[in-house]
Amino acid sequence: MSGNGAKVGTGIGAGLVLCSAVVYAFLGRWEDGTQLTVYADKLAQGLPTVCRGLTRHVTRTPIIVGETWSAEKCEAEERRAIVAVQTNLLRCFTRNPSQAVFDAATSHAWNFGAPATCGSAAMRAWNAGEWQLGCQRLYRSDSGNPVWSYVKTGRLLPSGKPEMKFVRGLANRRQAEYRMCMGAE
């Protein structure tokens, strides 16, 4: 697949482009597409990661720390994985999203997994036809606090819950997803 991917046929998602040039470029902006050696992502508690954020959460291809991939292997696997993530996302929408909403949801699912995006407050809003509210919920809670911008530190709080740390880069990405979702990115 080069440039824009294939269009979805009938039903939910009809007319949407899978692996659009916009979403592919957007992921490259946030995930270092030149990362050809698999590394243990510190923000993801050592999760093996390569290319534009390929992990075991988006592909079945083994990703082994220290292994080096070619740029061609990265692009082919990324495009397959994006289509797979998007195919899973389509099952969660009960209304036809715009390409901008779909691409923003794709970026979110790429970062957190389709199950998390499907179960999110954003998806609930989109499925209620509240498109702008869903877009906002990618970035901020209804009370205005940042969401999806924290990582576990590895320590537990006295309550037994994991300690979370705010990450500016994740907040910036969520804000960019919001802008994309609203058609401004």
How far is 166 from 93, CA to CA, in rounded Å? 29
CATH architecture assignment, domain 21-181: Orthogonal Bundle (1.10)
151: which residues sit within 8 A by CB, 6+ positions away?
43, 44, 45, 164, 165, 167, 170
Q: Please give the model's pTM, rounded to 2 decimal places.
A: 0.88
Residue 1 is predicted with a pLDDT of 40
Q: What is the pLDDT of residues 46-58, one digit of tens each?
A: 899 999 889 888 8
Torsion from C-alpha of 59, 179, 185, 30, nearest 10 degrees: -40
Mean predicted confidence (pLDDT) in 6-11: 76
Question: Mean pLDDT over residues 9-18, rounded?
Answer: 84
Q: Where are the domains of the chain?
A: 21-181
Give φ, ψ of 119 to 5 degrees: -90, 5
**Any idea which of 36-40, 57-61, 140-144 has the lowest mean pLDDT?**
57-61
Q: How many CB atoms lie within 10 A of CB 160?
A: 6
- pLDDT, one tens digit per residue, over 155-170 is 999 999 999 999 999 9
- For 28, phi then psi, to 5°, come to -65, -30
| Sign, CA torsion 139/145/147/151 | positive
First to last CA, the chain: 23
